[in-house]
Structure 1
Amino acid sequence: HCLVYDQDPVTALSLPDEQDSLFVINSFSKYFNMTGWRLGWLVAPQQHVADLEKLAQNYYLAAPTVAQYAALAAFSEDTQALYEDRRRIMGQRRDFLLEHLPELGISVPCRPQGAFYLYCDVSAITDNSFEFCQRLLHGCGVAVTPGLDFGAHQASRYIRIAYSASQERLQEAIDRIATFIA
Structure 2
Amino acid sequence: MLKKIVLGILCVGFASCKGTSQEKEMAKTTQTKSEKKFEITKTEAEWRKELTDMEFYILRKAGTENPGSSDLLDNKKEGTYVCAACETPLFKSETKFKSGTGWPSFYQEIEGNVAYDVDYKIGYKRTEEHCATCGGHLGHVFEDGPEPTGLRHCINGAALNFIPSK
- TM-score, normalised by the number of residues in structure 2: 0.23
Given the two structures, how large is their TM-score scaled by the length of structure 1?
Answer: 0.21
Structure of higher RCO (CA pairs closer than 8 Å, 6+ residues apart): 2
Q: Give the structure with the higher percent helix.
A: 1
